[in-house]
Amino acid sequence: MKKITLSILTIMLAGASWAQMLDRSIKPKPGPAPEIKLGKTESFTLPNGMKVFVVENHKLPVVEINIELDIKPELEGDAAGYRDMMSELLLAGTTTRSKDVLNTQIDQMGARINVSNQGISGGGLKKNAGKIIELMADIAMNAKITQEELDKTKKKTLSGLETQKNEPDAMVANVSAVVNYGSKHPYGEVTTEETVKKITLAKCTNYYKTYFRPNVAYMAIVGDVTLSEIKPIIEKAFGKWQKANVPVATYSLPDRSGSITKVTFAPRTAAVQGVVAVTYPVDLKRGTADVIKAKVANTILGGGSQGRLFLQIREKHGWGYGSYSSLQDDELIGNFTANLKVKNSVTDSALGALLDEMKRMQTEKVDEASLQSTISYMSGNFAIALEDPNRVAQNAINIERYHMPKDFYQNYLKNLSAVTADDVMAMSRKYILPERANIVVAGSKDDVAPKLAKFSADNKIDYYDYAGRKLAPTETMTAPAGITADEVFKKYVAAMGGDKGFNSVKDLKVIGTSEMQGTPLTITEIKKSPNKWKQFIEVVMGGNKMVVQKQWFDGTKGFQEAGGKKADVTGDDLDDLIQSADIAMDLHPEKYGIKRTLKGMETVNGSKAYVIDVVTGKGKKSVEYYDASTYLLIRKIQGEGEKLQQSDYFDYKEVPGTSGYKLPYKVTETAGGQSFSETVTTVDANKGIDDSEFN
């Protein structure tokens, strides 16, 4: 024991001496970049032209299969959106299997099969590899696209577009696509309600038959398999896939010559924060010498929580949760994007700081410590990615598909470690270009837009709607002389049926249908003069219709019920119920202390509209928009911030059984980033509704 203690003491003393000899101010020099071993990848080509890559990984008894199509299809044009629908249409059954049979066979194996307009992927247990490959081949060769499935997919797509209309990230993405690439490039096409309605079965079927061909297909299979055992299975399943001539479209590239910094703005009424993208296309092709060096520059700028943008926007100023940038290489045309999400009051300050950091990348050489830290970070991410066999297989496909250097990935770490501060500055001057950027913002036009014109080289702001369509008016226009809010409102009352129309309605029952996240809803509203109101929402579950939410006013008190729990309605919500119960409230707004002020004119859904600010006797504010030609109410905005609610009204019709009273037969509601539409199916007026309906 004594000898052991002395030995430990000797080692400790020696360690202390070594520590005194070390100069901790000198950073250890990085060692040579490790040699990359990409694993065993074997390949073969079927007679029909499909190239197959096999990557063995025997850690788990599973397989992953991916088929990519190397295609450049024609532009979608006025039917934009049909390619995205292929992910559902091609899983709706084949000529040999119905949709139910296909789904059952996939589920019974616990497998996965997904489809996109660019290929097919699948995975599951090794013992089911043959069956999975068989099903994937059946989809590739024999998919049956039906009108019924297309109609369902179009309906679902239209529902999703309703949500996008007030979702800032979607708005920025759509506008960015348009200003970066233009409508004559596949990256610049935006799906809208109009384009969805023009999608036909023939167009979808033609796309599938034209581009799903083996001679443009790359298959990667990764997992607990060997080439010798999987090759016969693939040959049997895909050997009958017929090759054909696949057309290759050419696209016009964005012309960036002479480009200047532009500010484009997508108005989002009463938004409490601005969503900003500084973006533009870049000519950065995959596998080229610039890729690694350029991505080092981007990582220093905004590639993570240690990036300059994050440290400036969040850590130093606390303006937002973070700020990041990305630099994408691409076969056609690459892209740079830096983004922000900050509150209205600091949007201009945060944007200015972001642009300053981009400029600093061009003028200030990165210090060696930051450079080496970034290289270490990127090296670690690359090494971790190689633990995924799918990434190894994808790398093999990339080299073949994009004609990259054969040793691109093998020498990745060596080339990464060789990047210098001079390289970073050179890449920044070439690819990080604040002086030629498109600044795209979705936010409050009144609170944010006026502060951003200074960032545009021409001191102007271009306005776009949610789908990237240019808006002609940039500001609220002045209404014609002599027009007042009272005059506009009186013409609205007349357009709705006037005194005679409103007073002819003694009771009213309106039934409408809607959909929320794929679930069909039935919404019923009942009114009885002078002051009773009820609304309830029903869903169908297990074949039975059940009420999930109900509100009513019995003439004295208000109530609400949801989840089996009933509660009184009070405060502002009760005021809303009282006004809702008054069928003829528009004939006597003074009863509720309502005052209207004409603000000006704007364009709403393509129509010029009078904009009227509304304040109730209790100080509750809203904004109403009346069509300048029909004087009908086409939009109402109430609440603010996260409680903002926007209602758009369409398709006004006269209600049968009344003296000209009208209702909108379609209403779109947007709140909390979610949108849904209600379509009226039944309206009954003056049917003698009993008071017991409101108990």
Alpha carbon distance 362, 37 (integer Å) = 36
Cβ-proximal residues to 481 (8 Å cutoff; 6+ apart), any chain: none
- For residue 135, tell me if it sits in a domain: yes
**Are residues 459 and 593 located together in one domain of the fold?**
no
Q: CATH no. for residue 331?
A: 3.30.830.10
Cβ-based neighbour number of residue 176 at 10 Å: 25
**Residue 159 covered by a domain:** yes
Give residue 1's pLDDT band: very low, low, confident or very high (50, 70, 90).
Answer: very low
For 503-536, letters b (16+ CB in 10 Å) and e give bbbbbbbbebebbeeeeebbbbbbbbbebbbbbb
User: Two tokens at 165?
Assistant: 């209309």
Average pLDDT over residues 229-245: 97
Residues composing the chain: 695
> Do residues 417 and 557 share a domain?
no
Structural tokens at position 388: 């995924």
C-alpha of 465 from chain center? 15
- Residue range 62-73, pLDDT digits in tens: 999 999 999 999
- Residue 254 in any domain: the answer is no
Number of structural domains, the chain? Answer: 3
The CATH number assigned to the domain holding 677 equals: 2.50.20.10
**Contact by Cβ (8 Å): 283, 334:** yes
Helix axes 421-431, 347-363, angle to 10 degrees: 130
Chain centroid offset of residue 405 CA: 34
Sign of CA dihedral 310, 311, 313, 314: positive
Which pLDDT score is estimated for 475?
Answer: 55
Q: Which of 649, 648, 653, 645 is nearest to 681 (CA)?
A: 653
Quote the pLDDT of residue 345: 92
What is the band of 2 on the pLDDT scale with cuts at 50, 70, 90? Answer: very low
Distance CA 461, CA 439 (A): 10
**Sign of the CA dihedral running 582, 587, 588, 592:** positive
Return d(Cα 615, Cα 626) in angstroms, integer.
16
Give the pLDDT mean for 174-184: 94
Tens digit of each residue's pLDDT (9 = 90 or more) over 445-502: 888 999 999 999 999 999 999 999 998 654 567 778 889 999 999 999 999 999 999 9
For residue 511, list its beta bridge partners: 524, 682
Going by pLDDT thresholds of 50, 70 and 90, the confidence category of residue 516 is confident
User: In terms of domains, do 215 and 110 share one?
Assistant: yes
pLDDT interval class at 167 (50, 70, 90): confident
Same domain, 57 and 172: yes
Asked if the structure places residue 243 within a domain, the reply is no
| Residue range 28-51, pLDDT digits in tens | 555 555 556 655 789 999 999 999
Q: Which of 403, 432, 463 is the last residue of a domain?
A: 463
**Same domain for 341 and 459:** yes
- Do 639 and 565 belong together in one domain? yes
pLDDT band at residue 82, thresholds of 50, 70 and 90?
A: very high
602 pLDDT band, cuts 50/70/90, is confident
313-327 burial: b if 16+ Cβ within 10 Å, else e: bbeeeebbebbbbbb
182, 330: one domain: no
Instruction: Answer yes or no: is 470 within a domain.
Output: no
Residue 293 inside a domain? The answer is: yes
Q: Please give the residue range of the domain that contains residue 514.
A: 485-694
pLDDT at residue 12, rounded to an integer: 34
- Are residue 203 and residue 72 in the same domain, yes or no? yes
Sign of the Cα torsion 622, 627, 631, 634 reads negative
Which of 203, 238, 273 marks a domain boundary? 238
Dist. CA 179–CA 342, nearest whole Å: 22
State the DSSP H helix or E strand holding residue 147, giving kind and residue range, or none if neither. Answer: helix 147-164
Do 230 and 289 fall into the same domain? no
pLDDT at 638: 87
Q: Can you tell me the mean pLDDT for 391-415?
A: 92
Quick: pLDDT tens for 345-362. Answer: 999 999 999 999 999 999
- What pLDDT score was predicted for residue 272? 81
Looking at the structure, tell me whether residues 444 and 593 fall in a common domain: no
| H/E segment holding residue 133 | helix 129-142
Q: In the predicted model, is pLDDT for residue 18 greater than 60? A: no
Residue 25 has pLDDT above 50, yes or no: no
CB atoms within 10 A of CB 586: 14
Distance of alpha carbon 231 from alpha carbon 654, whole angstroms: 68
Cβ proximity of 416 and 319 under 8 Å = no
Residue 18 included in any domain? no
Alpha-carbon span 342 to 271, nearest angstrom: 11
pLDDT band, very low/low/confident/very high, at 257 (cuts 50, 70, 90): confident
Q: How confident is the model at residue 388 (pLDDT cuts 50, 70, 90)?
A: confident
pLDDT at 474: 45
CA triple 279-405-283, angle to 5 deg: 20
Nearest to 479 by CA among 471, 488, 470: 488
Whether the per-residue pLDDT at 603 is higher than 90: the answer is: no
Query: What does the DSSP assignment read for 521-546?
Result: EEEEEEEETTTEEEEEEEEEETTEEE
Note the pLDDT tens digit of each residue in 300-330. 999 999 999 999 999 999 999 999 999 999 9
Give me the mean pLDDT over the 586-596 stretch. Answer: 95
Establish if 17 belongs to a structural domain: no
Nearest in space to 212 (alpha carbons), one of 102, 403, 70, 45: 70
27 pLDDT exceeds 80? no
Residue 274: enclosing H or E segment and its boundaries? strand 273-282
**What is the overall mean pLDDT for the chain?**
90
User: Are both 279 and 372 inside the same structural domain?
Assistant: yes
Do residues 426 and 557 both lie within one domain? Answer: no
Who's near 507: CB < 8 A, 6+ residues apart? 526, 527, 528, 529, 685, 686, 687, 688, 689
Backbone Cα Rg of the chain: 32
Distances (CA, A) of 121 to 110, 222, 489: 15, 12, 58
